[in-house]
Structure 1
Amino acid sequence: MATILHRIKAYLYDNVLTKDNPNDFTARTTSERSLNVQQICQSAVGRGGADISASAMEHATELFLKEMAYQLCDGYSINTGYFTANTTIRGVFDSPSETFNKDKHSIIFQFNQGEKLRAEIPNIEVEILGVAESSAVILQVTDVKSSSVNDLLTPGRNLKIAGSKIKVAGNDPFIGVFFVNVSTNLRTMVEESDMVTNNPSEVMVVIPNLSAGTYRLEIVTQFTQGALLKEPRTAIFDKLLMVL
């Protein structure tokens, strides 16, 4: 029997992604915070007993990641043991002579778990904390143009947002669907006329004319079953989305 070294806590949410069973749930892990390279290196020294300083480890890690990115951009695949990475071209080529077109095709980097990370799974204990409180939650987004799930955004095309209690409703002037640029914190609101579908479990919008970058998706609403909340609540998608 594997030794339990790690614990993950999760809440249950209504599973709106499957239609066959209206009473089933999906589990979402709760994360206290996101760790950056510096914090991981400090933990490796303080907890893991690393034999070099945290600053030296951070410097070496940044050098490694920079070189890895360079090699990925040259088309090499990466296998660290903990994760694999490769460069992928998305989009359809209509003929053998068609060349790459940035307006039609895109380049993305894909990362997947490696053997060493998979080997840690038996050491993890999962604690289900019960059904989450009745707050709005975004579970999945699909970029209709590229068929990308939880990844890409295509400005001017539709984005399908699946979740629970995400219908945009209320009289507060700040409710709506927002794309927040992670680098600048600039908030771009979807115009009301660009709301294609607006249901409790699915909202579809036309993606605004966003510049290239990384974005956080937020839905601000007063919707709840049967009545409007007095104050708006915000559902923040836990994955970042990219405009290439």
Structure 2
Amino acid sequence: MSNILYKIKAYLYDNVLTKDNPNDLTAKTVSERSLNVQQICLSAANRGGADISASAMEHATELFLKEMAYQLCDGFSVNTGYFTASTNIRGVFDSPSETFNKDKHSIIFQFNQGEKLRAEISNIEVEILGVAESSAVILQVTDVKSGSVNDLLTPGRNLKIAGSKIKVAGNDPFIGVFFVNTTNDVRTMVEESDMVTNNPSELIVVIPALPAGTYNLEVVTQYSSGALLKYTRTATLDKILTVA
């Protein structure tokens, strides 16, 4: 039996992503926070996981990531041992003579776990904290244009939002679907006319004309299974979304 080196905590939620069993549940990890390159390098230096300074490690990492991005953009695939990365083209070509069209086709970078990271799975203990409190939660989003899940946003195209109790309803003026810029905290609200589908387990919205950058997705609602709640509650996707 492998030694347990890590622990992941998770809550259980109604599984709205499958329709075959109405009583099944899905586990969602509890993420304490999202770490950037600087924070990871500081952690490695402080706990003895690196034999160089945090600043030197950060500089070297940024150089590596920049060069990796350059090679990916040139069509090379990457295998670090911890993850693999490749450049893929999405969209249908209707004939052998059809050329790439940015309005119809898209480029996406695909990342998958590598052997070294996969080998650590046996060292992880999972603690299920029980069924989550009855609150709104976003489980997954899909950018319809690119097919990207929990990653890319295509302004002007549809975004599918799967979750639980996320129907936008209520009389509070601040309810709605919001994209929050992670750099300047500017909040962009989806116009009511751009709400294509508004159900408790699925929203489909037209993504606003967002500038390039990274965003948090929030759904603010007073919806409940019965009467409307007195106050709003906010469901936030635990992944950062990107407009290239």
Q: What's the TM-score, normalizing by structure 2?
A: 0.93
Which residue in 2 is equivalent to 1:196?
196
Letter in 2 for 1:225: S
Matches within 5 A, 1:139-218: 139-218=139-218
| Offset from partner CA, 1:40-90 (integer Å, 9 cap, x none) | 112112213422111111111111111111111111111110011111111
Q: Distance in 2 between matches of 1:98 and 1:243?
A: 27
Pairing 1:65-76 to 2, within 5 Å after superposition: 65-76=65-76
- Return the alpha-carbon distance in structure 1 between the equivalents of residues 10 and 151 of structure 2: 23
Encode CA deviations 1:6-25: one digit per residue, 9 max, x unaligned.
00000001111111111111
Alpha-carbon deviations, 1:171-227, whole Å to 9, x = none? 110100112233343222111122222111111222223333333211000111212
Q: Give percent identity, aligned residues only.
A: 85
What corresponds to 2:85 in structure 1? 85
Instruction: Give yes or no for contact 2:31–2:238 (8 Å, CA) kept in 1.
Output: no
Provide structure 2 residue ranges, at least 5 long, that are not aligned to the other structure: none
Which residue matches 1:5?
5
CA RMSD of superposed structures (Å): 1.6
SS of the residue 1:231 aligns to: coil
Is the alpha carbon distance of 1:213 and 1:93 closer, same or farther for their aligned partners in structure 2, counting shifts above 3 Å? farther
Give the distance between the partners of 2:49 and 2:92, measured in 1 at CA. Answer: 50
Alpha carbons of structure 1 residues 77 and 147: separation in structure 2 relative to 1, 3 Å? closer
TM-score, reference length from structure 1 = 0.93
Q: Going by fraction, where is strand more abundant, 1 or 2?
A: 1
Does the CA-based 8 Å contact 2:136-2:166 persist in structure 1?
yes
Give the SS at the match of 1:224.
coil
Q: Secondary structure at the match of 1:129?
A: strand
Q: 1:220 to 1:13 in 2, by over 3 A?
A: same
Structure 1 residue ranges without an equivalent (≥5): none
Q: Which amino acid in the other structure matches residue 181 of structure 1?
A: N
